[in-house]
Amino acid sequence: MRTVRRIQPIKSPCKPKLKVAAYARVSDSRLHHSLSTQISYYNRLIQAHPDWELVGIYYDEGISGKEQSNRQGFQNLIKDCDDGKIDRIITKSIARFGRNTVELLTTVRQLRLKNIGVTFEKENIDSLSSEGELMLTLLASVAQEESQNMSENIRWRIQKKFEKGIPHTPQDMYGYRWDGEQYQIEPNEAKVIRNVFKWYLDGDSVQQIVDKLNQEHVLTRLGNPFTVASIREFFKQEAYFGRLVLQKTYREAFSRNPKRNKGQRNKYIIENAHEPIVTKEYFDLVLHEKERRYQLMSQESHLNKGIFRDKISCSECGCLMIVKVDSKQVNKTVRYYCRTRNRFGASSCSCRTLGEKRLLASFKSKLDIIPDKEWVENNIKHIDYDFGQRIIWVIPVKGRKYPIEIREGRY
């Protein structure tokens, strides 16, 4: 009997969609509209292909293409490629992908080893094609040269502006506003600056000045409360007596990180560049007062380092005791601490703090003298502090060591 057997057609396996990502970049944040246009374009382009799957649009805004390390969006793109999330990258041009020839070619070759292609639309290059590598090398070199020429042109224009006494991209500073040609005084802020200088010369500390401004609800140009750091910046701002110093910083070729100009480039000093808020003589008075206070603090710090500094050891652990000055108190209390206990905690050593006043009182009780730094240097070689016995053992420069009982009480 004849039989009929039906054979079902073999279904071809469903071809997986190509996982596609796009990369966009603009080097100036003011070109935000251009970036938005690129992102919208790539969204439409990828979604228009039914056999493509949109992985994401990666982008960097306001960042140069000279260095990959500064581009977080680009770094995220490469990481997702390494994780196997992307099969193809689409970008507008070689210049958008990167302006450093070596970095660009290295990246494309690494992607090629993973069978990930990069499509450069403007140049019509597919990095996986046989001629793609050659074309990419030639065009990337041109892109880098163009970028370098552009940077040199920009530096030349900036230099010419400096030579004419014009700041490059002038920014508003506290006390002034840029009107397109020069700085103009902002009256309310100028009054604050004059008050700050006057208060400082009258004897107020920087912290006291900050407190005064905050109590009066005076804010910085950005709307924040004043801080000690912001007031100290006032004392550095030569613009307040009409001087402009141009090219304080500079950038090396193919670098976005500014460096402080310490003589590597020309500096341009323009006197009487704009109306001053204070006179140079008044500004100099503030600087002299600042230096006077610094010298005074240095002298006080030196005098209050402790009469017995580097002379006392903890008898329990043998460590040299360190000296600390409590400058918050009016009389600047000096105390000696076991170095081991101070560093590793109470469980490491039972030695407790020894106040210098108590130590001096103990010497007065035992020897009927109150030591000073000179006496200690001339007469004492070393001191061992036995906290458990409340005794110090004095090792003199000459003679035998002797004990002194530590006086009790608050010192």
Whether residue 158 lies inside any domain: the answer is no
Other beta carbons less than 10 A from residue 149's beta carbon = 10
Residues 135 and 27 in one domain: yes
Residues 121 and 190 in one domain: no
At 83, is the secondary structure helix, strand, or coil? coil
CB 91 within 8 A of CB 24: yes
CB 406 within 8 A of CB 362: yes
Residues 53 and 120 in one domain: yes
Whether residue 98 lies inside any domain: the answer is yes
Among candidate residues 245, 277, 299, the one where a domain is terminated: 299
At 60, is the secondary structure helix, strand, or coil? strand
Residues 288 and 330 in one domain: no
> Two tokens at 103?
């970095």
> Two tokens at 138?
């030639």
C-alpha of 353 from chain center: 38
Residues 181 and 133 in one domain: no
Nearest 10 degrees: Cα torsion 176, 178, 181, 184: -30
Among candidate residues 239, 268, 299, the one where a domain is terminated: 299
Alpha-carbon distance of 80 to 73, in angstroms, equals 11
C-alpha of 157 from chain center: 29
CB 339 within 8 A of CB 321: yes
Residues 293 and 362 in one domain: no
Whether residue 411 lies inside any domain: the answer is no
Q: Give the model's pLDDT for residue 344.
A: 79
Whether residue 169 lies inside any domain: the answer is no
Please identify which residue in the block is written with the tokens 């990959």: 68
Residues 80 and 200 in one domain: no
Measure the CA angle with vertex 203, ends 281 and 287; round to 5°: 35
Number of domains into which the chain is organized: 3
Q: Give the model's pLDDT for residue 307.
A: 86
Residues 262 and 195 in one domain: yes
Residue 349: closest CA among 309, 310, 382, 320: 320
pTM: 0.44
Total number of residues shown for the chain: 411
Alpha helices in 262-320 (DSSP H): 280-303
Whether residue 374 lies inside any domain: the answer is yes
Alpha-carbon distance of 91 to 122, in angstroms, equals 9
Q: What is the CATH number of the domain that holds 129?
A: 3.40.50.1390
Q: For the chain, report the end-to-end CA distance as a whole number of angstroms.
A: 122
Measured CA distances, 374 to 312, 370, 371, 379 (Å): 16, 11, 8, 9
Whether residue 195 lies inside any domain: the answer is yes
Q: What is the CATH number of the domain that holds 280?
A: 3.90.1750.20
Among candidate residues 147, 167, 200, the one where a domain is terminated: 147
CB 21 within 8 A of CB 86: yes
The domain of 270 spans: 176-299
DSSP assigned state of 70 = G
Per-residue pLDDT of the chain (411 residues; tens, 9 = 90+): 677 777 776 665 667 889 999 999 887 766 667 788 888 999 999 999 999 999 999 998 877 766 777 788 999 999 999 999 999 999 998 888 887 777 888 888 889 899 999 999 988 888 888 777 777 767 666 656 666 666 666 676 767 777 666 776 677 789 999 887 788 999 999 999 999 999 999 988 899 999 999 999 999 988 899 998 899 999 999 989 988 877 766 666 555 567 777 767 777 778 888 899 999 999 999 999 988 888 776 655 555 578 888 889 998 888 888 888 775 555 668 889 988 888 778 888 888 889 888 898 899 888 888 888 889 889 999 999 998 888 999 999 988 989 999 876 543
Report strand pairing: 259-260 vs 249-250.
antiparallel
